[in-house]
Amino acid sequence: MTQKERSWEKRLAGEPNQVMMRFVESLSFDQRLYKYDIQGSIAHAAMLCEQSLITSDELAAIKTGLSDIQQEIEAGTFVFDYKDEDIHMAIESALIAKIGAPGEKLHTGRSRNDQVATDIRLWMREQITVIQDKIRLLQQALVAQAEKYTTALLPSYTHFQRAQPVVVAAYLMSFVEQIQRDFIRFQNCAGLLNWSPLGSGAIAGSTLPIDRDATARSLGFNGPTANSIDSVSDRDFCAEFTFDCALLSAHLSRIAEDWIIYSSSEFGFIHIDDTLCTCSSMMPQKKNPDALELVRGKTGTVYGALMAMMTILKAQPSGYNRDLQEDKVHVFQASDTIEACLDVMHAVVNNTTFNVEHIEAGLDAGFLDATALAEYLVIKGVPFRKAHGIVGTLVSQCEQARCKLSDLGLDQFKTQSSAIDEDVYSYLGPASVAKRYASAGAGGPKQAQTQIDHWKTKLTTRN
């Protein structure tokens, strides 16, 4: 088809300015929507036929033409021409070139405005399942690691200062919970977006008897959206999806940050397999956790996409505006980045070991058993606030004497509280503390095992 033969250009005088054409095209990035565009077009054409707006022969020709185009795109033989502006025009032009007259009827009662809104929803609905599957794989890897470390101890940190002892499994399971909320957020996003804007036309619908229920049903939507003006401009689901990617990205960056620190010589808590580390071009001794640093760094890319998406939506006049074309740039960016981060985190988690003995050898530092000692005093009848003060004093004495709480003699304990007895020693030390955790969800071996058991069953299902 030549430029002049494009019906949508009859209105304008002269050949379109090439700088403008290159500027407004979206084909370079929306061609990945081809499958959904064709799926939507087939549903639309079938409805047109049901409504006697096209004949069944025309429908058959449209279907064959579209499926040939899909095959050509998938085989890499389809020639994309940016002058077609976007994937919708590219496919329609190709269809008309292929089947002639019936192809010219496909756009009956439809606009690219409702078409693109439908395509992104179809794409996103599927993409969400891809991301969710990757979240599940990462959860599986974390649970598998947790199973190996149900009794091995780890200092937990608040304010990045040593806090209380936990088992490594409890630490690992904390990430399973975090990313489960991401899984649910994506699920909610998929639920909310699953309404069909198709048939809303450019903004006000159509005077033709378009059956929106039928297209909605055949595309697996819950039903048609209620208002055509809202439908062509609604990209709330894009903002939501990008936010879900951003928060997941934040969670992944937290694991990454921990493990970058844990793998340092200063900590030596974990060993990341060499295959997942990089070297320095100058310093021959280096083994760097670049993959994790990039998971952390790419959070910036995803947050950027979210900020862009929110800004695109702000203060647009109602109805469709071309600004909305930019939505895809950022939605795809967020989605591709989060997929890549999930893949690499999965590989890193699978290929990391905790240096259990090394961690254990350093557990004496930081008075990890201080809170448990205060709680011991509570059991002996001392009000918690008093117990807190008593243990605080004992800790500062230990700090001066450069010893740990369990090094204090009973007489020294007694100078601070007569409630302390000989049995105190069985309450001290990180391992005893971890074993004594009694509250649900605490950092001990029992609670970690409960969580592991729960997740092992849950991870076999897709909810």
CA-CA distance, 203 to 114, in Å (whole number)?
8
Identify which of 175, 163, 171 has the alpha carbon closest to the alpha carbon of residue 430.
Answer: 163
CA–CA–CA angle 28, 29, 34 (5° rounding): 95
Between 26 and 140, whose beta carbon lies closer to ligand ARG? 26
Between 26 and 301, whose beta carbon lies closer to ligand ARG? 26
159 is catalytic: yes
Between 88 and 185, whose beta carbon lies closer to ligand ARG? 88
Segment (H or E) for 271? strand 270-272
Residue whose pair of structure tokens reads 């050898």 in the numeric block: 361
Number of residues engaging ligand ARG in binding (CB under 6 A)? 9
Between 85 and 369, whose beta carbon lies closer to ligand ARG? 85
CA-CA distance, 138 to 295, in Å (whole number)?
14
Binding to ligand ARG (CB under 6 A): which residues in 391-420?
A: none
Contact flag: residue 153 with ligand ARG (CB under 6 A) = no
Report yes or no: 107 and 54 within 8 Å, Cβ to Cβ: no
The CA distances from residue 280 to 104, 271, 272, 283, 345, in Å, are 59, 18, 16, 5, 21
Between 314 and 402, whose beta carbon lies closer to ligand ARG? 314
Identify which of 341, 330, 339 has the alpha carbon closest to the alpha carbon of residue 306.
Answer: 330
Residue whose pair of structure tokens reads 């929110």 in the numeric block: 310
Report yes or no: 185 and 10 within 8 Å, Cβ to Cβ: no
Active-site position among 7, 67, 280, 426: 280
Smallest gap from residue 113 Cβ to ligand ARG (A):
5
- Site map (CB under 6 A) of ligand ARG, residues 322-351, x = contact: x-xx--------------------------
Identify which of 430, 328, 450, 308 has the alpha carbon closest to the alpha carbon of residue 369.
Answer: 430
**Of 86, 114, 182, 375, the one binding ligand ARG by CB under 6 A:** 86
Candidate segments 109-117, 233-241, 286-294, 311-319, binder of ligand ARG by CB under 6 A: 109-117
330 is catalytic: no
Candidate segments 142-150, 179-187, 319-327, 405-413, binder of ligand ARG by CB under 6 A: 319-327
Segment (H or E) for 341? helix 327-350
Candidate segments 46-54, 208-216, 318-326, 348-356, binder of ligand ARG by CB under 6 A: 318-326
Candidate segments 108-116, 268-276, 287-295, 364-372, binder of ligand ARG by CB under 6 A: 108-116
Smallest gap from residue 27 Cβ to ligand ARG (A):
8
Give the number of residues written for the chain.
Answer: 463
Between 322 and 402, whose beta carbon lies closer to ligand ARG? 322
Between 277 and 324, whose beta carbon lies closer to ligand ARG? 324
Contact flag: residue 116 with ligand ARG (CB under 6 A) = yes
- Measure the CA dihedral 95/97/100/105, to 10°: 40
Report yes or no: 338 and 249 within 8 Å, Cβ to Cβ: yes
Report yes or no: 69 and 75 within 8 Å, Cβ to Cβ: no
Between 37 and 182, whose beta carbon lies closer to ligand ARG? 37
Which tokens in the block code for residue 298? 């790419």
The full DSSP string for 206-217 is: -SS---HHHHHH
Candidate segments 173-181, 259-267, 321-329, 360-368, binder of ligand ARG by CB under 6 A: 321-329
* H helices, E strands: number in the chain: 18, 4
Candidate segments 147-155, 218-226, 317-325, 420-428, binder of ligand ARG by CB under 6 A: 317-325
- Site map (CB under 6 A) of ligand ARG, residues 12-31, x = contact: --------------x---x-
Which tokens in the block code for residue 241? 């999806």
CA-CA distance, 45 to 53, in Å (whole number)?
9
Smallest gap from residue 213 Cβ to ligand ARG (A):
24
CA-CA distance, 349 to 140, in Å (whole number)?
10
Active-site position among 52, 159, 265, 281: 159
Smallest gap from residue 200 Cβ to ligand ARG (A):
12
**Of 113, 127, 139, 249, the one binding ligand ARG by CB under 6 A:** 113
Smallest gap from residue 324 Cβ to ligand ARG (A):
5
Give catalytic residue positions.
159, 280
Chain residues binding ligand ARG by CB under 6 A are 26, 30, 86, 112-113, 116, 322, 324-325
